[in-house]
Amino acid sequence: MVSKRGITPATKKAIKRRSSIEPHIGHMKSDGKLSVNYLKGILGDKLNVILCAIAHNLRLITRKLFLTHSQSHKLKPI
């Protein structure tokens, strides 16, 4: 089935998925040093992306742990 603009449901789903991923890529480029690649070759490119994604996920995890820890240790009124 094709919609009125000629986009199939599979293409529409792929576009929606890509638009949800792009903000994460932008953060990895600015915060995770994805723009600088010191590794050589195609394997180096692949490793750079994987290491950047790992670092991004670790930042998210540590932020979540820090927020959870700081909220659990708030002073309670007497």
Tokens of 61: 């995890």
What pLDDT shows up at residue 43? 92
Domain that holds residue 61: 9-72
In a domain, 77, yes or no: no
pLDDT (0 to 100) of residue 61: 92
Structural domain contains residue 60: yes
Whether residue 67 is contained in a domain is answered as yes
Please check whether residue 19 lies inside any domain of the structure: yes
Domain assignment present for 78:
no
Identify whether 2 is part of a domain.
Answer: no
Q: Give Cα separations from 54 to 7, 30, 77 (angstroms).
A: 34, 15, 40
State mean pLDDT over 65-75.
72
Tell me, yes or no, whether 36 lies in a domain.
yes
**Is the model's pLDDT at 77 over the cut of 70?**
no
Which of 20-58 are b and which e, b meaning 16 or more Cβ less than 10 Å from the residue's Cβ? eeeeebeebeeebebeeeeeeeeeeeeebbeebeeebee
**What pLDDT score does 9 carry?**
86
Kindly state whether residue 30 falls inside one of the protein's structural domains.
yes
- Please give the distance of CA 66 from its chain centroid, rounded to a whole number: 19
How many domains does the chain fold into?
Answer: 1
Name the pTM for this structure. Answer: 0.57
Residues 3-43 pLDDT 10s:
667 788 888 888 888 888 788 777 777 776 677 788 889 99
